[in-house]
Structure 1
Amino acid sequence: MTKKEKSATYVSELESIFKCPICEASMNVFELKSFICSNNHTFDFTKQGYLNLTTHPMKTKYSKDFFEARRKLIAEDKFFEPLIQAIAEMIRRQADIKKESLWILDTGCGEGSHLSNVCDKVRSDFGKAVTGVGIDIAKEGVLAAAKNYTHNIWAVADLANTPFKDKRFDVILNILSPSNYAEFNRLLRADGLVMKVVPRSGYLKEIREDLFDKTVKQDYSNTEAVDRFNENFRILDSFRVHYTRKLNQPSIQLFMQMTPLTWSAKKERIQSFLEKDSADITVDLEILIGRKTN
């Protein structure tokens, strides 16, 4: 079977979670080629195996090179491994492990490495079925996810209009990406969890100090993001992930390709950082774990 056919077969087994992003009708896989709602709105499976469920074109700044660099750092260099371990452990502690299966949605999945790694770890911890679904508005990221991780569902989708029925997910991951808390509450089951990862003040401080003068780019506060999360969910726990990794020259090249910090930095400062033989990079993140309030 081709990737397209394999993906369509997998989605056909799980199609009950979906709704049409245009009219909200139920959807069905047709001839392992298309995903069609009862009102005949049609979305084709791509040859890579993902679905584009947006209703209009969306442009982002994220390129194919951005996501390839990100995948290599995450999947091959294990740059975010402590974060993945912490997320899996928080799910193990807080999720209802009596269920036969666990449904995890990653909102802002990028090229899929975080979701794939989390699902793999949770599967080994729970010893039961875990279904991973990743969405992002960046088509290049979802394409890379479908190419490299075939055991999950991947879709280009709008976070303001997600193509899923109400109360279908046990866990929603939101890792260093925008949120839509109204949608999160709609999609979560009654006992579902939201796990939002936000940067703390020390996150990538070495890069920010090298690329920028004394500005907001150097001094970052997550207070507003944390307060807004607290307003929308009942806080169960929070966990700080803090460590420093030494990057060699090839990894520095990858990192500078995948960080949006370079988008607003001067070229000469970027070049100066790229010429380093090695660099210590601080990861300073906070995992917020919340449950629905109603």
Structure 2
Amino acid sequence: MSKPSKKMMCAAVIARFQEIFRCPVCNGHMQMINLQSLICSNRHCFDIAKQGYVNLLSLAKKTKYDKRMFEHRRMINRNGFFDPLNAAVSNKIINQLGNNEPTSILDAGCGEGSHLTEIQEKLFRKTTNSLLAVGIDISKEGISSAAAEYSNAIWCVADIANCPFANHRFDFILNILSPANYSEFKRLIADEGMVIKVIPERDYLKELRDIFYEGSEKQVYSNEMTLDHFIEHFELTDVENVRYQVNLGESSIKPLLGMTPMSWGTTTERLRKIQEMKLQQVTMDFKILIGKK
């Protein structure tokens, strides 16, 4: 018997959990039809892509995040740059889990899926809970890359300002180094659920920031406005700082520069300066915010 295609595997999982979806056009209930399409009660139709994801945007959105940037991000993840962060986020989830309870996680702004996948793998190793993982991003390139690489989640092209899911469907919402929409997060999170937001701290990639933003106000980073905005919408129940150094091999320099928006619009002179410096380490510096309703 031939192995099921990515499309069929994706459609089967969506069919199993179709009750979590709502139409992004009319908010109607949705149903998987013939393992081909999600269709709402008003006949708005969204086909499953052959790569194994569903595009739930009614209009395509252009972003600055291209295929090459997502490739660089996956390389950086695979080189362990985010391992301590992903471990810390995983532990936050594990500490909240009941025994053998079904658990649902939404990664809002999942990019190419590396964070959600690594966190999910850590949960599988340490818990026996059945797990539904859903990753959404407005970038079709990111979701296509996630679906092509990983088959462990439902991957959706979607807008976090108009999430295609029914109310109170997720026990955990992850928002890792990504924009947020807190009104939607409040709608989607279960009553006893948890929002886990990761924001950069002031020393995040400071070795690059010092060169890219030398002499500008961006050289010193502040996350105070982001933190205040989170506290306005959720009860802040826990905060954890995660700071560590990562050793740089020569092969890591190019993807590191390619994965960060810091490099957008910079001069070739500054890019060359970083490459010629032959950095030995970079600083990873994050704050994990835990919020509840």
Scaled to the shorter chain, the TM-score interval is over 0.9
Deviations 1:15-60 (A, max 9, x none): 0000010111111111111111111111111110111101111000
Cα distance, 1:236 vs structure 2:
1.1
* Counterpart-to-counterpart distance in 1, 2:168 and 2:196: 16
Identity %: 44
Please state whether the residue corresponding to 1:160 is helix, strand or coil.
Answer: helix
* Counterpart-to-counterpart distance in 1, 2:268 and 2:29: 49
1:177 equivalent in structure 2:
178
Which shifted more, 205-214 or 111-120?
Answer: 205-214
Which shifted more, 118-127 or 148-157?
Answer: 118-127
Whichever residue aligns with residue 72 of structure 2, its letter is A
Deviations 1:217-238 (A, max 9, x none): 2101111111111111111100
Q: Residues 100 and 128 of structure 2 are in contact (CA less than 8 Å); yes or no, is this contact kept in structure 1?
A: no
Q: Residues 157 and 163 of structure 1 are in contact (CA less than 8 Å); yes or no, is this contact kept in structure 2?
A: yes
Whichever residue aligns with residue 204 of structure 1, its letter is L
1:167 equivalent in structure 2:
168
1:77 equivalent in structure 2:
79
Structure 1 runs of 4+ aligned residues shifted over 6 Å read none
Please state whether the residue corresponding to 2:248 is helix, strand or coil.
Answer: strand
Deviations 1:135-177 (A, max 9, x none): 0001100001001111100000011100000000000000011
* Counterpart-to-counterpart distance in 2, 1:123 and 1:227: 34
2:284 equivalent in structure 1:
283
2:119 equivalent in structure 1:
118
CA-atom RMSD in angstroms: 1.1
Asked if 1:209 is matched to 2:242, the reply is no
Whichever residue aligns with residue 21 of structure 1, its letter is P
Runs of 5+ unmatched residues, structure 2: none
2:25 equivalent in structure 1:
22
Runs of 5+ unmatched residues, structure 1: none
Q: Residues 99 and 128 of structure 2 are in contact (CA less than 8 Å); yes or no, is this contact kept in structure 1?
A: no
Q: Residues 173 and 196 of structure 1 are in contact (CA less than 8 Å); yes or no, is this contact kept in structure 2?
A: yes
Whichever residue aligns with residue 259 of structure 1, its letter is T
* Counterpart-to-counterpart distance in 2, 1:170 and 1:157: 19
Q: Residues 38 and 48 of structure 2 are in contact (CA less than 8 Å); yes or no, is this contact kept in structure 1?
A: yes
Cα distance, 1:7 vs structure 2:
0.5
Deviations 1:73-121 (A, max 9, x none): 10x201100000000111122x242462110000000000000111111
Aligned residues: 290
